[in-house]
Amino acid sequence: MVTRTRARREAKRADAALRRGDKRPLLGVPYGAKDLLAAKGAPTTWGAPPFRDQTFDSDATAIRKLDRAGAVLAAKLAMVELAGGGGYRYPSASLQGPGLNPWNTERWSGGSSSGSAAAVAGGLVPYALGSETSGSIGTPSAYCGITGVRPTYGLVSRHGAMALSWTLDKIGPMARTADDAALVLAAIAGADPNDPTSSGKRFRALDPSSVRARLPRLRVAFAEEDIIDHASPEAKDALERGVDEFRRIAPTFVRATLPEDLPYGPMVGTVYGAEGATIFAELIEGDRFEELIDARQKAGLRAALDIRARDYLQAMRLRARLSAAFTDLFKEADVILSVGRAITATLIAQPLDAPGVTASNPPPSKRPGNIGLIPAGNLAGLPAIFFPCGFASDGMPVGLQLVGPAFSEPLLLAIVSAYQRETDHHSKRPGEPAQELEPAATI
């Protein structure tokens, strides 16, 4: 939904500031926000029919901070209902319908930050805010060929955002480039007395020259089976080329993998299932619950009410073990490189539980490598950056992800910025012939 009145008011204020010589980097730059972030003057529907008329009289902290930076809120952007709480079977699980991928509108833009990714990839806004509980920034970024940042848990305040999982939810920027995402992250990171989980830490970009000197010595953990064993036939070649390009800027690869005996998908599902069912218990047990769109999601939310305390606590114990494993892994490597998604964007009508759509828990016949990095990284609260690395044989974007220790966002963004200075995948735009492409405008 376009926020016309608010955008015009903020744009006029930005024009006046520009005439005074104000040089704030986001001043006057329009953006969109996922519709789980409260914003005055616009509905905040959480993508769900029961909340279609919901409004708030104050801004979420992330939006308030962007307002202070002079940015212009141009739109509230579509999302999967309740950010996918309970699980869902079809991309159409949204008040606004399925997110259409600008590269091919018969394909999905990914969930649950579907509108944020589509708006950036389609050139409607230079950047947007998304959120991630387990993959909701990463998957849309990979499917739409944009750069998305999942911050460390606690770096960005969640005050004023719909809660799905108190111990997993994170808000981050989605943009064309790492440099643009860094500008946004600098604006929204930091302390917030209204969010008790806020770390109080800020984000400051690194000097590119210092990063260039470090890249040859940077230890990059990589498991070749992430592509060899798990990538779809359409995506495999492009992902391999992307890794080769990355190796040219950071050549020191080491082998380091996640523990093979932890069920990352069930672990994260148990945590956000139990927490989400508690958050939405009144809705689940109320009269408007049947207004939700996806039958599987309704069944999942009901079932989550019955998750046993012992199962939740066991998942939290395993989570602590996982965090310790990451600590050990980062003694051997500085960052972890893997695929953003091992497949390209799914068809709008394709069930999301179809074979090959998810690979968080690979079958025993395949080496797991680091293919479970999205749920594992979210469970550990670690930062990640997802970035495009080319196009698959079906014409759809593919991307990689880079994960680092807690609060290593400056390093992650600097590495991908260096990669994007040597490649042009991030500059590609839907609907333009390859030979006519020009570099994408940046903030």
Catalytic residue numbers, as ranges = 34, 112, 136
**Beta strands at 253-254 and 220-221: parallel, antiparallel or unpaired:** parallel
Q: What distance in Å separates the CA atoms of residue 52 and residue 37, rounded to the nearest whole number?
A: 14
Packed helices 264-279 and 309-332: angle between N→C axes, nearest 10 degrees: 130
Q: Token pair for residue 261?
A: 């005996």
For the four alpha carbons of 9, 15, 20 and 23, in that order, the dihedral sign comes to positive
In single-letter form, the type of residue at position 58 comes to S
Separation CA 122–CA 141 (nearest Å): 12
CA distance 177 to 25: 15
Task: Report the alpha-carbon distance of residue 215 to residue 194 in Å, rounded.
Answer: 38
